[in-house]
Amino acid sequence: MSDSKSIDFASVPDQRGHFGPYGGRFVSETLMDALDELDQLYRKLKDDPEFQAEFDRDLAHYVGRPSPLYFAERLTSKIGGAQIWLKREDLNHTGAHKVNNTIGQALLAKHMGKPRVIAETGAGQHGVATATVAARLGLKCQVYMGAEDVKRQALNVYRMKLLGAEVIPVTSGSQTLKDAMNEAMRDWVTNIDDTFYIIGTVAGPHPYPQMVRDFQCVIGREAREQCLKQAGRLPDALVACVGGGSNAIGLFHPFLQDEGVAMYGVEAAGDGLDTERHAAPLNRGKPGVLHGNRTYLMADENGQIIETHSVSAGLDYPGVGPEHSWLKDIGRVQYMGATDEEALAAFRELTRVEGIMPALESSHAVAYAMKLAATMRPDQIIVVNLSGRGDKDIHTVAAIDGISI
Amino acid sequence: MSRIKQCFDRLRAEGRKALIPYITAGDPNPQMMLPLMHELVEAGVDVIELGVPFSDPMADGPVIQLAMERALAHNVGLRDVLDMVREFRKTNQTTPVALMGYLNPVEHMGYEAFAEQAAAAGVDGVLLVDLPPEEAEEVAPLFRSHGLDSIFLLAPTTTLERARRICENASGYVYYVSLKGVTGSATLNVTEVAEKLKQLRTITDLPIGVGFGIRDGASAAAIASVADGVVVGSVLVSQIAANLGDPEQARAGIAAIIRDMRAAMDR
């Protein structure tokens, strides 16, 4: 869309967290003061060289950044279209991009002197990343997880326990990620004096969507620099999966001003976008308010949030970060879908052809990138955010294959 | 003059305090609502807060979460809630009814359509828990133009400066949340509430209702001695949960609690 050229993407969100009509701060009054306090502290620290140096140091020595930008040569030649490059967030400590954000928020918690952190988690990746930084900083950590997810993700539950966190199964509502987030909010409103809530994605009330984005932007900054250095130019297209959308915004944001770079966010199409079983609010939802922000949501005719479906627990969420809603409306990013079946096929293909086992979430991005590459020229470049590794999903894939391990 | 203002003016003149029960619309089933609302009035309440069921009630504790799940099992939506108020108004034109709920169902209906239909149904006030005044700059005037009072929350964490701005946007009454937490939380510190209310009185003339943690005649009377209204919810909803097979018993239990509170408050 031509009118997005004149937008200064760095000026968004506004002072109160609005991305166009989206975002904002829709929470009960008890939380407003804490959010103000967090906002003020974050405003101060984000331009503080000392804080940034501390963050960068942790990213380098604890997370292992920069993560490589890898040319997937065999996959590329098999498809015979554009070059597919993978931003290897799967190689981060704890195995996904989530840790970039938990490092940042844990540093904020430390600056605020909060001895306790809480988090919500779906598949458990954000919970593990939170428990990890809490262990490192000696913070008490409690993680809310839908009772259904606790059953499905036993390995990550045990991992969090080993790290010293307490995992609290949530039995209300649909017993999945959205309910875990409700419960974390209830905890926070009750324990606001001593607790920092580490939200795992670019959603929630202001300043979370902005803060999490800023912490995740290291992905895109590195990828931009690496692509210029390794390929000699900017990519033609970026592809990332979108659940809440933190890995996608992290990759996209540093490129938004680069007009020639097309961007594709890939939602979980589940059984198909035209079925009732998917998790694709940007493709099939409409704007509403949930979890502190206005954004595209999956809701019924009464405005009740409906249950979503995806083979990947990390994309199984009825909302999406508000900045994505805005980027969709202004046409800067195209939002597509990949079905469970397409994601599983991509999971197998990347594993066999490149020896890289992607998370099922990231497999959605790989699936769409493979389709897109086939329509492009061999001199063109696609950068795919390989946001996490697939070890956690082996049980899911094995079960689909009818194998119990 | 709004029904809510008339109600508080009358109570003030009589030297009495408002008793404001909360029930979730459609809990345990839609048929029970009308008899329950009328029973509440007979037992001595002044304003009824009617909860609009929502799938993700972030500010509510387990008691009201479950009430909303029971109502949603009957697929009770915002339009059904408005129908209940319309029915109630056929035989009661004096008791104010305030809707209390979350923003998304209202946003889905559309603000203009909601304001129009709510006013036509006989709703008097609206409290949207996740709509702070900052985000209500367009909504509150729209509601006001349809004769609906905008009721806002004040919390222990609300600064006086912020409370001033909130009260400027509010009408009908303001709702002081007596403790940090969700609905149905246990501890209530009346001295702290009294202290906070004394401050709030310096910045607003609006009646102040207090809720969260009020569960019997004694706590209702204690709060009534410092506030203009006493909001009671989870303890009533618990009666419904405890008597799911016997709605008559639930209604009798709720009426008994209300009578007890009324007597203690008027003593």
Q: What is the pLDDT of residues A157-172, one digit of tens each?
A: 999 999 999 999 999 8
Phi-psi region of A232 (alpha: psi -120 to 50; beta: other; left: phi over 0): left
Size of interface A-B (CB pairs under 8 A): 130
3-state secondary structure of A98: helix
Contacts of A33 in chain B (CB under 8 A): 155, 157-159, 162
pLDDT band at A6 (very low <50, low <70, confident <90, very high): confident
Q: Quick check: A240 and A385 in contact, CB under 8 A?
A: yes
Query: Strand order in B174-177's β-sheet?
Result: B149-150, B125-128, B97-101, B48-51, B18-24, B229-232, B208-211, B174-177, B153-154
The kind and range of the H/E element at B161 are: helix B160-169
Indicate if the pLDDT at residue A174 is higher than 90. no
Instruction: Using a CB–CB cutoff of 8 Å, tell me whether B208 touches chain A.
Output: no
Percent of chain B clearing pLDDT 90 (strictly above): 93
* Cβ pair A75, A354 in contact under 8 A: yes
The more confidently predicted of residues A129 and B213 is: A129
Find chain B residues with C-beta within 8 A of A302's C-beta.
75, 77-79, 105, 108
Contacts of A290 in chain B (CB under 8 A): 56, 104
What's the gap in Å between the CA of A344 and the closest CA on chain B? Answer: 31
Closest-CA residue of A relative to B182 is A186
Asked if A230 contacts A224 with a C-beta cutoff of 8 angstroms, the reply is no
Find where tokens 């207090």 sit: B210
CA atoms of A213 and A324, how far apart (whole Å)? 11
Give which of A174, A102, A125 is closest to A362, Cα–Cα. A125
Question: Domains in chain B, please, with CATH?
Answer: 3-266 (3.20.20.70)
Q: How far is A336 from chain B (nearest CA, A)?
A: 24
- The confidence score (pLDDT) of residue A3 equals 54
Q: Are A203 and A175 in contact (CB under 8 A)?
A: no
Taking alpha carbons only, the member of A368, A393, A397 closest to residue A383 is A368
Chain A residues close to B57, C-beta within 8 Å: 182
Sorting pLDDT into bands at 50, 70 and 90, what band is B229?
Answer: very high
Kindly list the residues from chain A whose CB atom is less than 8 angstroms away from the CB atom of residue B162: 32-33
Length of chain A, in residues: 405
User: CB distance A28–B130 less than 8 Å?
Assistant: yes
Contact B32, B247 (CB under 8 A): yes
pLDDT at position B171: 96
- In the block, which residue shows the tokens 């954004």? A295
Residue A325 contacts B, CB cutoff 8 Å: no
Residue A320 has pLDDT above 90, yes or no: yes
> Mean per-residue pLDDT for B22-43?
97
Q: What is the DSSP letter of A61?
A: I
Residue range A96-111: mean pLDDT, rounded? 97
pLDDT at residue B180, rounded to an integer: 83
A15 touches chain B (CB under 8 A): no
CA distance A244 to chain B (A): 17
**Distances A188 to B134, B170, B189 between C-alpha atoms, Å:** 21, 26, 20
Q: Do A292 and B130 lie within an 8 Å CB cutoff?
A: yes
* Residue B182 confidence class, pLDDT cut points 50, 70, 90: confident
**Which one of A67, A87, A89, A98 is the catalytic residue?**
A98
| A274 at interface of B, judged by CB pairs closer than 8 A | no
Please indicate whether, in this complex, the C-beta atoms of A173 and B104 are within 8 angstroms of each other.
no
For the segment A282-311, the average pLDDT, to the nearest whole number, is 97
Quick one: what percent of chain A has pLDDT higher than 90? 92
CATH class held by domain A17-59+98-212: alpha beta
- Interface check B108 vs A, CB under 8 A: yes
Cβ contacts (< 8 Å) between B185 and chain A: which residues?
190
The whole-number pLDDT of residue A2 equals 43
The ipTM of this complex is: 0.95
Q: Is A4 a catalytic residue?
A: no
Report the pLDDT value the prediction gives residue A356, as an integer from 0 to 100.
98
For the entire predicted model, the pTM comes to 0.96
- The one catalytic residue in B27, B46, B49, B228 is B49
Q: B99 in contact with A at a CB cutoff of 8 Å?
A: no
pLDDT average, residue stretch B137-159: 95
Mutant choice from B103, B165, B182 vs A, greatest count of A C-beta within 10 A: B182
Whether A5 shows a pLDDT value over 80: the answer reads: no
Percent of chain A having pLDDT more than 70? 99
pLDDT band at A4 (very low <50, low <70, confident <90, very high): low
Write down the domain spans for chain A: 17-59+98-212, 64-96+217-400
Task: List the single best residue of A30, A179, A290 to mutate versus B (max B Cβ within 10 A).
Answer: A30
Count of alpha carbons within 13 angstroms of residue B265, beta-carbon side: 31
B49 noted as active-site residue? yes
CA distances in angstroms from A144 to A6, A116, A176, A250, B132, listed in the order given: 42, 14, 10, 24, 26
Local confidence band at A381 (pLDDT 50, 70, 90 cut-offs): very high
Contact A27 B56 (CB under 8 A): no
Query: Within an 8 Å CB–CB cutoff, is residue B134 touching chain A?
Result: yes
CB spacing of A182 vs B57 below 8 angstroms: yes
CB contact under 8 A, B153 and A28: yes
- A217 CA to chain B: closest CA distance, Å? 28
The pLDDT value recorded for residue A1 is 44
Distance CA A22, CA A53 (A): 32
Q: Name the pLDDT band for B159 (thresholds 50, 70, 90).
A: very high
Q: Give the closest of A25, A189, A192 to B135, CB-based.
A: A25
Closest chain A residue to B53, measured at CA:
A304
- Which CATH code for domain A64-96+217-400? 3.40.50.1100
Stretch A134-153: mean pLDDT? 93
* Inter-residue contact A22 to A294 (CB < 8 Å): yes
Mean pLDDT value of segment B62-83: 97
Chain A 133-162, residues with CB within 8 Å of chain B CB atoms: none
* Contact across the interface for A29 and B75, Cβ inside 8 Å: no
What pLDDT score was predicted for residue B257? 98
